[in-house]
Amino acid sequence: MQGLSRTPVLSLANNQIASLPGSLATMHNLTKLNLSYNHIVHIPTCVYSMKGLVFLHLACNRLETIADQIQDLVNLKILIVEGNSIHTLPKTLCSMNSLELLNVDFNELQNVPVEMYLLSRLGRLACHPLDKGLHIVHNPLLKPIQEVLQGGLSALYNYLKPT
């Protein structure tokens, strides 16, 4: 495990994992973590200690929420949580001004936090999986959010911004 603590990339995708050992919190050099296609219900607590993460892939798990501690990942540029059952996004997510790609496609989102406009680095609504920006299609978004999205990310941000 000692050599593992210095590795910058860890992929545990497709392993039927439901949790992670707390000892992984010592992986301070980790920049990319792939936990996609597992059975994770909550983002493991040790992940929030991985302050160097720039890439976190949690697609196709069993997530229903994202904890407020997500804001602890101050260097995170890419967060992929598509294909889960997430109902709401925490307001703390909106303070993560390093985010360049946020993929929440195929979840159960009905609304987005009004502070979402603070995520200025997302830049645009994205369609292609490799595109930077906000991926938010295939969610049961309530009106008027769904119609507003047709105008793109700037239309969404203008709608959400306090006047």
Residue-wise DSSP of 21-73:
-GGGGG-TT--EEE--SS--SS--GGGGG-TT-SEEE--SS------GGGGG-
Amino acid at 55: F
Q: Out of 3-12, 17-26, 95-104, which region has the weakest mean confidence (pLDDT)?
A: 3-12
Q: Out of 33-42, 67-76, 96-105, 125-134, which region has the weakest mean confidence (pLDDT)?
A: 125-134
Q: What is the mean pLDDT of residues 134-150?
A: 90
Residue 19 in tokens: 């949790």
109 belongs to a structural domain: yes
What pLDDT does 5 receive?
Answer: 63
% of the chain surpassing 90 pLDDT: 81
Contact 80, 54 (CB under 8 A): no
Q: What is the mean pLDDT of residues 123-138?
A: 90
> For residue 93, what are the contacts with CB-CB under 8 A and spacing of at least 6?
66, 70, 71, 99, 102, 113, 119
C-alpha 74/C-alpha 58 separation (Å) is: 17
44 belongs to a structural domain: yes
What pLDDT does 2 receive?
Answer: 52
Decide if pLDDT at 134 tops 90. Answer: yes
2 belongs to a structural domain: no
Q: What is the mean pLDDT of the chain?
A: 93
Give the pLDDT band of residue 4 (cuts 50, 70, 90).
low
129 belongs to a structural domain: yes
Classified as helix, coil or strand, 95 is helix
Task: State how many domains the chain has.
Answer: 1
Backbone angles phi, psi at 78, to 5 degrees: -130, 120
1 belongs to a structural domain: no
Give the pLDDT band of residue 1 (cuts 50, 70, 90).
very low
Give the pLDDT band of residue 130 (cuts 50, 70, 90).
confident
Which domain covers residue 13, as residue numbers? 9-160
4 belongs to a structural domain: no
pLDDT digits over 89-117, tens only?
999 999 999 999 999 999 999 999 999 99
Q: What is the CATH classification number for the domain harbouring 93?
A: 3.80.10.10
Whether this model's pTM surpasses 0.75: yes
pLDDT digits over 152-161, tens only?
999 999 998 8
136 belongs to a structural domain: yes
